[in-house]
Structure 1
Amino acid sequence: MTGDHRTNLIQIGLGPWGTDWATKILPRLPDAHVTGWVDASPDARTAFVAATGADPGTVFATVEEALEATGAVAAIAPVAIGAHVAVARQVLQAGAHLLLEKPFALDAATARELADLAAERGLVFGIDQNYRIFPGVPIVRELLERGAVGTIRRVSLEWHRIHQGVRDSNALIELAIHHFDLMRHLFGREGVAITCVPVTPVRSAQDRTPGASLIVELDGGITIDYVLSSQGVDAQTPWPGVWRISGDDGLLRWGAAPDDHRAVSITDGDGNVTPVEVPELPLFERAGVLRAFIDAVAGTGAPTSPAADNARSVAMLEAALTSARTGERTRVERW
């Protein structure tokens, strides 16, 4: 959809990532009308005004002040991971719709609590799982749904990029949450259990690790060998990773190094490779997520990843963090 309505919203979080949203994503959707900008840090507010030219009179220190002054009905929140839960509670309790960064919580219980709060108040609550908005995703999902490779026997996923934001953080929290969500979305199955061996010890969610090797079990006997790496010399994969899905009737490949997220092909039992056309999407990645959120607020669509559904991706992250800490296969919480 192109959107023929206008939605007044505020943006919470004016650091480097918030500035990126404000300058690169929001201008692509003219009907996403930002009436206020929010950050608790005076330094962040000052730097944001300098970087974007925002009217200082539209920049606020608190969510409540911004909502009251602007009359906005919704908020987007590109804030630091540690602030996700607190910001979600603030916005939802204030009665505004919310698009929040991932992961919106680090445990399934908190994720469900926040999703229930939004549901009780009749609010749209979407999560920016933007890997769902890559051009190859609907193609691969459709191929799997129609059994293009037959019964699935083996799946592997490799992600490798020398990326400081991943290497210097907890890669499971910063990046693997994207892939857990993508696994659920592509296969239409829920997580069963995860075994995780981190590159460096992870005793708590605050510990850093640049990568991990994981075995991810999904419903229906699907097991995914998943390697997440931000160290060492290798060709750079696309952000969604390089996927190999082997079945009785063929091999589906999606993604190729270096950095080709549109490469999709099917190899049959005789070794014949057939490339699959991957059309462009009207709006890509975060812009597509924002488009769906704005339409949902207007009552003409739904978020690409509603919080109530995304809580199950959070449950997979929680299991991975527990396994990383204990060294044991950990079951994913189900409800």
Structure 2
Amino acid sequence: MASPRRFTILCATYNQADYLEEMLSSALAQDFEDFEVVVVDDGSTDATPEVLQRVLAQAPADVRERVVVERTANGGQTAAYERGFALSSGEYVCLLDSDDRFHPGKLRELDRVTREDPGAGMVMHPLCVIGPTGAPTGIVRPQGAAMTNGDARAQMRRNARHVAPGASGLVFRRDVMAQMFPAPTKGFPFAADAYLSFGAACLAPVRALSTPLADYRMQPGGQYLRRMLSPEGLRRQLEFQEVVAGHFGLGEAARRNSLFARNRYASAMYEGTGRRRLREFRDLEVAVLTDPFFSPRQKALLGGFWLTTLVAGPRRFPALWEWFQRRQTGWHRIAAQAERSGATQ
């Protein structure tokens, strides 16, 4: 049996053939050698198998030896992560979304940080947002709130609140990740990384870096925005929140989580009664005002915005909610860049 690696780069992919070569090339271009790449193809119906085969066939033999590819029946991102973890050997597992890319020095920096701080069960870093073609947008995520840093376990018990980047900014110590499988989120086709980062913050201290070490691609095929802008999608998001918080015994604390409260309020504005809208608005305002990750200025701006949406009422809420979502994800800037690009062609 091969010796364990220092790092595993784990990618769960589904129908992202257009970006796989760029993703895999960025993983294999690391300037640190003690790592492996595990790719789980979650039953893709596009050209994913052919692309992976072609990229690996062109790679040198010593590079191919570091890569494990397995194709499974479609079971969702959580199941793909579980399978990939079982195939991996790394002391630390770095998630990499199939349309994202790592910066070349990422693993070397992570090696330094994890040796300096071996008690951290999860290491996180910001992500540079790129557009569909890979062009930089100038956005770094997370945008508003500061990332969780240090031992947040007492805080998680108080309000189930943590702030983390997307999947490609998450790195888990192996023993911490092992505690989160089998996961309760197999019924959801999205946000497996959100479950993992939430759980890691409950189980061990975390370390947040200030330097972006990967690129996060925003593309029209992304599901987050579509989900958040529909009543059905919001209901599914609320179910996910309840399952994750309940799994760690934080159902009551989750009522004080400002992100969760925001989604509950949006759902109520889409399809709730007047009484429910007022109740969720009050909970949201309290959660925002007591959120330790927001500055006083951010709290004032957010509180004022949510009051504006309540006064505007359910008929105008969808447009305001979409404006908010596009700004907090960065889609407004990507759309503006695309407009400018089209105008100059």
TM-score normalised by L of structure 1: 0.32
Structure with a larger share of its residues in helix? 2
User: Which one has more relative contact order, counting CA pairs under 8 Å at least 6 apart?
Assistant: 1
Structure with a larger share of its residues in strand? 1
